[in-house]
Amino acid sequence: MLQRSPLTERVVLTTHKEGTDEERKMSAAIRIDPETGRKIFNTRAAKASEKITGKGYSVLADQKLKELPEMPAGATFNADEQAKYRAFKEARLGAADYIAMEGEFKKYLNDVYSEPPIPREALTDECEVLVVGAGFGGLLLWHKLSNAGFTDVRFCEKGGDVGGTWYWNRYPGIACDVESYSYLPLLEEMGYIPSMKFASGFEILEYCQAMAQKFGFYDHCLFHTTVEATTWDEESGRWIVETDRGDKMRARFVILANGILTTPKLARINGMEKFQGVAFHTSRWDYNVDLRGKTVGIIGTGATAVQAIPELAKVVGQLYVFQRTPSSVDVRDQRATTDEERQTWANEPGWARARRARFARISAGRTAIQANDDYLAGKIEEIKKPKQYERKLTPVELVQKQLDANFRIMEQIRARVDAIVKDPKTAAALKPYYPYGCKRPTFHDEYLPTFNLPHVHLVDVAPLGVREINERGVVHEGVEYPLDVLIYATGFQWMGTSTFNRITGRGGRTLKEKWETEGTKTFLGLHSKGFPNLFIVTGPQGGGGSFNFTDAIDAHGDYLVWMLQTMRERGARIVDVRQEHEDTYAEHCRVVDIATAPLRDCVSYYNGEGKAEPGSLAYYGGGQWHKHRIAAQSSLEPYVFDYSESVMTASPK
């Protein structure tokens, strides 16, 4: 873990200005840099409690828990198996129903991890670039932009500190499912080597804080600041950015880097407001609640719950797990970073970048997440030789081959359930029937054994989920489950950040209105016509990534630096995109989505619970995104530049 030092704590600037305590605090929050004349911020909030700490995956000695059973003989994705998958899906259609977290449910969004916001004055000034978000996207953008000479950059972050998803998600057991040596950005620049192959969320958050300290990010960020409206002003060529802190700032460029899984969602359940016990969402984990000996219920068995449930079971008195749809729970095989690796990487310049590049070349999701060390370290050229066919397969045949391979993996995962879980009824309920990767895959070596514990109870609420909650707890099929604590592990909106709903572009049209009437339309996922000088990082239709999401952030950051440098060199003031290029790209996104749709034939947030229009969410064209990007950067044909009254500058490095 990172060594704490005075540098990792919030610096409180002193002032001799006369006035009230509130005025002195506000003065300390914002000051002027005497060299640049720009504002420097000190709005990072203190940690709410030292109770907020935990661990991720454990290192286990039992080899049987870290292996999948052998492939069942004769496993084929035949008509009978396909019918079973289809019935599993159809029974759950329409079951996903979520409420707006407003009114009495707004409390589930409260920031429980930091002290109250630092008082500060409202801002009405101007900056060159305003970025929404202080997670990996914001941190990487600052590093890239500042190195390129763009330093008049300001960040707005709704949380009290950096980290993004790692700030909000601090539940027991949280860890990253992509190996940390490839996932964590700027490892060489930071001189840091993660402690575990799959780092805990707590280690990742500390790493984000260390990055922010080292690269001067904190001076540029307004924490506990939520953007409420972003409006294009045609006359000045600026975005007007309004926040919940009374700000009305102006920016030449706005970059949305607030992530794709950051807004929690709650299932719509009758009577949920009546519950008299303690209730919270996993992304706002209440560490003030002592769970020892308590009767606890958790609704949901997705990626978050799979990590949290084994840790909950270690402390609670009784645990009731309410499951609508089981996850595919694969082997994790956690390990600590070895001394040999530390010594090797310390003397190998560029080791992390090279490892991430090799990771990005892996085309199979499960192979990528397993993260073969010999391949990623460059000791072997390939994990296994690609299968050779007598002729080139059609796209349809390739998808079918992948479905067949995915079925065999799922057969092993289902066999793993039988091999570990002792109660046949519980084991049957824990078996997933959908294509591998259709729902987010999960990995754990303690999750399945948890259901063998006498105080852990799986309540199978398939196919429609929990439908009733009363004052005492959950009610299912006439049975009441009294609870002291109810935890919602009901996930997040996928590519549905509230920021999209509050952006007003040319002609007074919002981005939400455009996409609702025309369908989701972007160019490269980064631009949307009618919203000039606005860029969306890792949003709908945004490619450039791999199974390691850091790749997409990295690619988008490089693109944005290129765009700003290009505009500076050409003397351009504004950039928008041409309609025909946006239409062509959006159609491309639709086509590649349809071509691979059989791989996502289930009810999943990846496809909007089965309701999303093809091409409207994630990008499924793989490396084709880079071809579109390179062509655009070479010709500049997709772009419409406005050269009038350009005063864009970049500061010296």
pLDDT band for 96, please (50, 70, 90 cuts): confident
Give tens-digit pLDDT for 291-349.
Answer: 999 999 999 999 999 999 999 999 999 999 999 999 999 999 999 999 999 999 999 99
pLDDT band for 18, please (50, 70, 90 cuts): very low
Residue 494's pLDDT is: 77
Give the chain's mean pLDDT: 91
Tell me 612's DSSP state: P
The answer on pLDDT for 540 being more than 70 is yes
294: Cβ–Cβ under 8 A, 6 or more apart, which residues? Answer: 316, 317, 318, 484, 485
First CA to last CA across the chain, in angstroms? 31
Residue 6's pLDDT is: 31
- 159 CA to centre of own chain: 15
Residue 14's pLDDT is: 34
The answer on pLDDT for 2 being more than 50 is no
Cβ(245)–Cβ(119) under 8 Å?
no
Cβ(437)–Cβ(406) under 8 Å?
yes
pLDDT band for 7, please (50, 70, 90 cuts): very low
Is the model more confident about 493 or about 56? Answer: 56
Domains of the chain: 6-32+126-164+216-260+494-642 (3.50.50.60)
Give tens-digit pLDDT for 405-455.
Answer: 899 999 999 999 999 999 999 999 999 999 999 999 999 999 999 999 999
The whole-number average pLDDT for the span 61-72 is 92
Residue 385's pLDDT is: 72
* pTM given for the model: 0.93
What contacts 24+ positions apart, CB below 8 Å, involve 634-641? 636/566, 637/578, 637/581, 638/523, 638/577, 638/578, 638/581, 638/582, 639/575, 639/576, 639/577, 639/578, 640/575, 640/576, 640/577, 640/578, 641/567, 641/570, 641/572, 641/573, 641/574, 641/575
Residue 177's pLDDT is: 92
